[in-house]
C-alpha cells in the first residue's frame, strides 16, 4: 500500500497572503519567498500533482509601484492601485516560473462571475482545462471592479471557493504563524499548537481565536482561515495552515500525507470524541518522530457528508437575497432521503425581496394556530434555496396546497416552491 500511496497525485491549492509576497514595512517584493514558492510548485508538479495558487498582493504591489505608504480610503483609489499591482504581480510570477519553463495563467474573479450556474461551471471547466494543460492557474479577486456587495470579502474565502470549484484534495493556507495555537503564542507562552482538527463543526474547545494573526498589508487573520477551512472541509477538501516563509515545507507535508494509509484520516475522525488536547499530543509526537514541519490540518468531511458541486454553489457561491420560513415538518421532509422538494404548504413566511431563482435563506420557524408565524419562536437558518417564485408571488401562495397556486396567481410555474436540485443544506 505504501507504494500505491506514494504515487498518488493530488490537486493542491496554495493560498498566499500579501505578507508572503510583500514586506509589511517597505512594501518591497519578497522575491526570495516568491522564488521558493515557485521552486516548491515546480517540484510538486514534477511529483505529479496539480497546483493552483490563490495570490493576493495586487494592492500591496500597486502601493509600492506608486510609492504610496498607506492604503487609501477612497474606493476608486484602492481599485486603481489594485489595477496597477495585479498586472505587475502576474508579470513577476510569469518571469519567475519561466525560469523553469513553466506556464502560468491569470484568473481574476468577482462573485458576479459565479452567480450563474452556467458561469460557475464555465469557470470550473476553464481552470480544469488549464490544469490538464499543465499550466498553473493563479487566482485572485478582480479587485479593480468589485463593489462591496459582490466582494468575496477576503482571499481565504476565495481560496476555499476555488478549492471547492475544482474539487481540490488539499488547500494550504500560508500565513505568518506555523500553525493554529490554543492562544496567541506571542503573548501567551503556554499556548499549545493545534495540529489536527478532525471535525471543525464541533468547534475548537480550549482555543482562543479572538487574537488572531494580522498584518498591515494583509487584512486576513486566523478567523478568516477558520471560515475558509470550514467551507473547504465541507466540500471535501483537507485544509492545512502553515508558515509562509518556508514554502518548501509544503512538499514535505505532501510527502507525509502520501505515507498515510487510505483510511488514516477517517479513523482519526471517527475516533474523535471531542477531546482536542489529547489528540494534539499524539499528533505532535507523530510529526516529531517523522520530522514533519509544524502545521494544522483540518480533516475534510468524507464522501457521505461533503457538499456536492451544486450544493456548494448554492450555499457559498451565491448571495442570499431574502428568506423563506418553513415549519419543522417541512424541514424534516426536506432532509429525508426521499429527495423531497419544498411545497408552498410548508411555507409560513417570506422575508425580503427576491426574484425567482435568486438565492434565499431557508429558516425554520413555528406556525401559530391561525397559520401565521409565531414571533416568539427563534428562527434558525438551516440552508438555502433557489425558489421558482418571486417574493411577492410566494407571499400569496404560502401555506396553500400546490393545486391552489393557479387559482391564486393566475398561473402555475411549478407545484414546488423549490426543486430538490435548488435546495442545499450544510452537512449534518
Task: Tell me which stretch binds another protein (CB under 8 A): 46-54, 87-95, 157-165, 203-211.
Answer: 87-95
Q: Which distant-in-sequence residues (6+ apart) come within 8 Å of 183 by Cβ?
A: 190, 191, 207, 208, 211
Task: Tell me which stretch binds another protein (CB under 8 A): 25-33, 145-153, 196-204, 329-337.
Answer: 145-153
Note whether 163 binds another protein by CB under 8 A. no
Annotated ligand binding at 225? The verdict is: yes
Name the β-bridge partners of 170: 12, 238
Annotated ligand binding at 220? The verdict is: yes
Note whether 88 binds another protein by CB under 8 A. yes
Annotated ligand binding at 223? The verdict is: yes
Least Cα distance to 164 among 242, 257, 231 occurs for: 231
Least Cα distance to 217 among 24, 17, 16 occurs for: 24
Interatomic CA distance for residues 220 and 10, integer angstroms: 26
Interatomic CA distance for residues 81 and 216, integer angstroms: 16
Residue with grid cell 456548494, as numbered in its chain: 312
Minimum distance of another protein from residue 401's CB (angstroms): 21
Site map 37..76 versus another protein, x via CB under 8 A: ----------------------------xx-------xxx
Note whether 412 binds another protein by CB under 8 A. no
Interatomic CA distance for residues 387 and 73, integer angstroms: 38
Nearest 5°: the CA angle 159, 164, 170 is: 70
Annotated ligand binding at 376? The verdict is: no
Grid coordinates belonging to 408: 391564486
Counting other chains too, the contacts that 122-127 makes at CB distance below 8 Å and 24 or more residues apart are 123/165, 124/165, 124/166, 124/309, 127/52, 127/162, 127/165, 127/166
Interatomic CA distance for residues 290 and 143, integer angstroms: 42
Note whether 112 binds another protein by CB under 8 A. yes
Note whether 144 binds another protein by CB under 8 A. yes
Residue selected from 5, 43, 106, 284 as contacting another protein according to rule CB under 8 A: 106
Residue selected from 33, 53, 123, 242 as contacting another protein according to rule CB under 8 A: 123
Where is 327: in which H helix or E strand? strand 322-327
Residue selected from 36, 37, 96, 109 as contacting another protein according to rule CB under 8 A: 109
Minimum distance of another protein from residue 59's CB (angstroms): 12
Taking every pair of Cα atoms in the chain, the longest distance, rounded to a whole number of angstroms, is: 73
Residue selected from 145, 262, 290, 332 as contacting another protein according to rule CB under 8 A: 145
Q: What does DSSP assign to residue 105?
A: E
What is the C-alpha R_g of the chain? 23
Cβ distance to another protein smaller for residue 89 or 287: 89
Interatomic CA distance for residues 175 and 16, integer angstroms: 7
Site map 331..360 versus another protein, x via CB under 8 A: ------------------------x-----
Annotated ligand binding at 143? The verdict is: yes
Task: Looking at residues 364 to 403 of the shown chain, list those that interact with another protein (rule: CB under 8 A).
Answer: 390, 392
Task: Tell me which stretch binds another protein (CB under 8 A): 30-38, 108-116, 183-191, 215-223.
Answer: 108-116
Residue selected from 40, 55, 79, 422 as contacting another protein according to rule CB under 8 A: 79
Say if CB 423 and CB 343 are below 8 A apart. Answer: no
Interatomic CA distance for residues 201 and 272, integer angstroms: 12
Residue selected from 47, 83, 227, 260 as contacting another protein according to rule CB under 8 A: 83
Cβ distance to another protein smaller for residue 163 or 280: 163
Task: Looking at residues 289 to 318 of the shown chain, list those that interact with another protein (rule: CB under 8 A).
Answer: none
Cβ distance to another protein smaller for residue 270 or 395: 395
Task: Tell me which stretch binds another protein (CB under 8 A): 15-23, 82-90, 180-188, 364-372.
Answer: 82-90
- Is the torsion defined by CA of 240, 243, 245, 250 positive or negative? negative
> Which three-class secondary structure string do you get for 332-361?
HHHHCCCCCCECHHHEEEEEECCCCCCEEE
Task: Tell me which stretch binds another protein (CB under 8 A): 109-117, 152-160, 189-197, 289-297.
Answer: 109-117
Say if CB 268 and CB 196 are below 8 A apart. Answer: yes
Residue selected from 31, 147, 210, 319 as contacting another protein according to rule CB under 8 A: 147
Say if CB 298 and CB 227 are below 8 A apart. Answer: no
Task: Tell me which stretch binds another protein (CB under 8 A): 100-108, 159-167, 191-199, 220-228.
Answer: 100-108
Binding residue positions for substrate: 56, 143, 155
What is the contact surface with another protein in residues (CB under 8 A)?
65-66, 74-77, 79-80, 83-84, 86-88, 90-91, 93-95, 103-110, 112-113, 118-119, 122-123, 125-130, 133, 135, 137-138, 142, 144-145, 147, 150, 355, 390, 392, 411
Binding residue positions for ATP: 175-176, 219-225
Amino acid at each position: 500500500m505504501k507504494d500505491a500511496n506514494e504515487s498518488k497525485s493530488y490537486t493542491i491549492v496554495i493560498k498566499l497572503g500579501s505578507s508572503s509576497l510583500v514586506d509589511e514595512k517597505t512594501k518591497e517584493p519578497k522575491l526570495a519567498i516568491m522564488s521558493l514558492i515557485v521552486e516548491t510548485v515546480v517540484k510538486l508538479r514534477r511529483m505529479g500533482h496539480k497546483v493552483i495558487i490563490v495570490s493576493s498582493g495586487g494592492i500591496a504591489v500597486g502601493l509600492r509601484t506608486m510609492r504610496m505608504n498607506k492604503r487609501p480610503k477612497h474606493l476608486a483609489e484602492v481599485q486603481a492601485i489594485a489595477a496597477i499591482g495585479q498586472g505587475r504581480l502576474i508579470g513577476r510570477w510569469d518571469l519567475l516560473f519561466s525560469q523553469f519553463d513553466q506556464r502560468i495563467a491569470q484568473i481574476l474573479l468577482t462573485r458576479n462571475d459565479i452567480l450563474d450556474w452556467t458561469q460557475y461551471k464555465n469557470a470550473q471547466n476553464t481552470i480544469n482545462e488549464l490544469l490538464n494543460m499543465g499550466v498553473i492557474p493563479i487566482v485572485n479577486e478582480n479587485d479593480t471592479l468589485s463593489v462591496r456587495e459582490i466582494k468575496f470579502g477576503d482571499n481565504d474565502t476565495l481560496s476555499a471557493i476555488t478549492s471547492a470549484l475544482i474539487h481540490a484534495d488539499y488547500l494550504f493556507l500560508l500565513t505568518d504563524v506555523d500553525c493554529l495555537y490554543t492562544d496567541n503564542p506571542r503573548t501567551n507562552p503556554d499556548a499549545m499548537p493545534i495540529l489536527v482538527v478532525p471535525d471543525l463543526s464541533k468547534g475548537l474547545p480550549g482555543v482562543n481565536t479572538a487574537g488572531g494573526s494580522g498584518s498591515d498589508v494583509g487584512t486576513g487573520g486566523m478567523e478568516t482561515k477558520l471560515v475558509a477551512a470550514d467551507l473547504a472541509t465541507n466540500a471535501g477538501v483537507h485544509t492545512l495552515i502553515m508558515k509562509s516563509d518556508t514554502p518548501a515545507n509544503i512538499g514535505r507535508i505532501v510527502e507525509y500525507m502520501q505515507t498515510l494509509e487510505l483510511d488514516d484520516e477517517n479513523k482519526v475522525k471517527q475516533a474523535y470524541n471531542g477531546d482536542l488536547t489529547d489528540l494534539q499530543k499524539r499528533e505532535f509526537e507523530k510529526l516529531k518522530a517523522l520530522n514533519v514541519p509544524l502545521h494544522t490540518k483540518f480533516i475534510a468531511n468524507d464522501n457521505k457528508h461533503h457538499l456536492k458541486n451544486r450544493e456548494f454553489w448554492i450555499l457559498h457561491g451565491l448571495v442570499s437575497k431574502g428568506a423563506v420560513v418553513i415549519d419543522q415538518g417541512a424541514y424534516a421532509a426536506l432532509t429525508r432521503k426521499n429527495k423531497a422538494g419544498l411545497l408552498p404548504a410548508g411555507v409560513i413566511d417570506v422575508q425580503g425581496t427576491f426574484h425567482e431563482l435568486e438565492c434565499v435563506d431557508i429558516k425554520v420557524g413555528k406556525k401559530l394556530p391561525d397559520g401565521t408565524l409565531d414571533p416568539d419562536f427563534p428562527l434558525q437558518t438551516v440552508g438555502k434555496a433557489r425558489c421558482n417564485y418571486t417574493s411577492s408571488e410566494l407571499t400569496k401562495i404560502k401555506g396553500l396546497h400546490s393545486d391552489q397556486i393557479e387559482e391564486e396567481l393566475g398561473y402555475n410555474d411549478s407545484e414546488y416552491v423549490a426543486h430538490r436540485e435548488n435546495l442545499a443544506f450544510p452537512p449534518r
